[in-house]
C-alpha cells in the first residue's frame, strides 16, 4: 500500500509510521532536527511530551534525505505544500484513504493499523515485548499487550511449542524438548 502513495512526502510519512510503529501525529510533527545522522537516531516526541530515541537504519536515513530533497523545508520532515507548516492530519489521511482504496483494503485498515502491524511483525520475529513497549513509547506494558493479538505465524509457533511440550503426556511418555 505504501508503494501506491505517489508523493514522496506521503510515502515517507507512512513508511516511518510502519517502520517504527509511530503514531501518525508523531510523524507529522517531526522537525528536521529529529534526525541525528551522526548517531543514527530518530528523536520522537510522543504522548506526554516524552522523547524516545529510536535507532535509525541507513536505509531509513537515505529515504528521509530523498524526501527532504523534494521539498527542502528548513523546519519539517513532512511539510505541507506551503513548506512552512507541517503536513496536516486531514491531508495525510486523505492520501492514506486514496492508497487504501487503490489496494482494495477494508475500511477498517487505518493509519494506526500500520502501528499494529509493526508490533505484530516484531513479535513474530521473537522481539521481547519490553523492547516493543519502548519502541512504541508506552509507559505501561498493558498498553503494549493490546497489540499482541495472536497472528497466524505466532499461533503456528505456539502450536509447535505446545506439541513439543505435551506430546505423549496422556500416554505417560516424557515430552521431548527441542
Interval 65-83: pLDDT, tens: 999 999 999 999 999 998 8
- What pLDDT was estimated at residue 135? 85
d(CA 3, CA 12): 10
**Strand-by-strand arrangement of the 41-45 sheet:** 35-36, 41-45, 51-55
Q: Which of 10, 11, 100, 138 is catalytic?
A: 138
DSSP summary character for residue 78: S
CA–CA–CA angle 136, 49, 61 (5° rounding): 55
- Which of 7, 23, 116, 121 is catalytic? The answer is 23
10 in catalytic set:
no
Model confidence pLDDT, tens digit, residues 162-175: 777 767 666 666 65
Give me the residue label for grid cell 515517507. 12
Superfamily name and number for 2-114: Intergrase catalytic core (1.10.443.10)
Other Cβ atoms within 10 Å of 102 Cβ, number: 12
Q: How many residues are recorded in the chain?
A: 178
Give the pTM.
0.77
Amino acid at each position: 500500500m505504501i508503494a501506491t502513495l505517489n508523493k514522496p512526502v506521503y510515502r515517507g510519512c507512512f513508511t516511518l509510521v510502519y517502520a517504527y510503529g509511530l503514531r501518525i501525529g508523531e510523524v507529522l510533527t517531526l522537525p528536521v532536527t529529529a534526525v541525528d545522522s551522526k548517531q543514527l537516531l530518530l528523536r520522537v516526541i510522543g504522548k506526554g511530551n516524552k522523547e524516545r530515541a529510536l535507532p535509525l537504519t541507513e536505509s531509513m536515513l537515505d529515504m528521509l534525505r530523498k524526501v527532504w530533497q523534494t521539498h527542502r523545508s528548513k523546519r519539517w520532515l513532512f511539510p505541507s505544500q506551503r513548506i512552512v507548516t507541517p503536513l496536516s492530519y486531514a491531508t495525510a489521511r486523505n492520501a492514506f484513504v486514496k492508497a487504501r482504496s487503490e489496494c482494495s483494503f477494508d475500511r477498517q485498515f487505518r493509519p494506526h493499523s500500520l502501528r499494529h502491524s509493526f508490533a505484530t511483525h516484531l513479535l513474530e520475529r521473537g522481539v521481547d515485548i519490553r523492547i516493543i513497549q519502548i519502541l512504541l513509547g508506552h509507559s505501561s506494558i498493558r498498553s503494549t499487550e493490546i497489540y499482541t493479538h495472536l497472528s497466524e505465524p505466532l499461533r503456528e509457533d505456539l502450536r509447535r511449542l505446545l506439541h513439543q511440550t505435551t506430546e505423549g503426556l496422556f500416554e505417560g511418555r516424557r515430552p521431548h524438548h527441542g
